[in-house]
A and B are shown apart, each in its own frame.
Chain A
Amino acid sequence: IAGITQAPTSQILAAGRRMTLRCTQDMRHNAMYWYRQDLGLGLRLIHYSNTAGTTGKGEVPDGYSVSRANTDDFPLTLASAVPSQTSVYFCASSADRGRTGELFFGEGSRLTVL
């Protein structure tokens, strides 16, 4: 079934460690996104990518980096994790229909930083 695959589904991480959350889509969508979901704050955009080779900052980009080397993959890296980055992370993608395409979401990656 076509869609978005995120890995890992859950991870406990010591503060200061480096972590990469993986995201792969097989729908050939040009745009991809990373959001974090925190209770009472909804979904906040971390980084996004309009197309392969380009990335943009969202609402809460500090402490995170992304790359978009190809259409399918959009990894999110925490260079040195801190407890405030404990959250559920969602990857999403959308098709290019004059930028009107809706987002398709993965099932999320639950990250706990101790």
Chain B
Amino acid sequence: AQSVAQPEDQVNVAEGNPLTVKCTYSVSGNPYLFWYVQYPNRGLQFLLKYITGDNLVKGSYGFEAEFNKSQTSFHLKKPSALVSDSALYFCAVRDGDTGGFKTIFGAGTRLFVKA
């Protein structure tokens, strides 16, 4: 069975500083990994994904994520945080080998960027 852990309920960072939101995963096959963002009272929006290839993936709004197979991690990063980045962030995993589209999400991490 696949699972996702987001160990931090909340991450606080000052505007202009780099940010990292952590994610670790567990799957039996090859991982397909995703990051999504949710603003208040809205549905989730896709940020980026790792399927195969380069371990560093670039996505929307200046976000990037690094896939680390040995540590089973897929941390979300941004070099310089903006106040407008404050939102709820979700990591998700799909098993690329077992077939089907079953996609499991983590519990989410709330990012707070202070001006």
- Give the interface of A toward B (CB within 8 A): 4, 31, 33, 35, 40-45, 48, 50, 56, 58-59, 90, 92, 94, 99-100, 102-108
Encode B24-59 as 1/0 by CB contact (under 8 A) with A.
000000001010100001111110010100000000
Instruction: Give the residue among B6, B44, B94 with the most A Cβ atoms within 10 A.
Output: B44
Q: Which residues of the partner chain B approach A43 to less than 8 Å between Cβ atoms?
A: 44, 90, 105, 108
Number of B residues, CB within 8 Å of A: 27
- Give the interface of B toward A (CB within 8 A): 6, 9, 32, 34, 36, 41-46, 49, 51, 90, 92, 94, 96, 99-108
Inter-chain contact total with CB atoms closer than 8 Å: 69
A41 to B44, CA, bound (A): 15
A45 to B107, CA, bound (A): 12
**B103 x A103 contact (CB < 8 A):** yes
**A42 x B44 contact (CB < 8 A):** no
Minimal Cβ-Cβ distance residue in B for A57: B102
**A40 x B94 contact (CB < 8 A):** no
Given contacts A100-B32, A103-B46, A107-B42, whether A94 and B101 have CB atoms under 8 Å apart is: yes
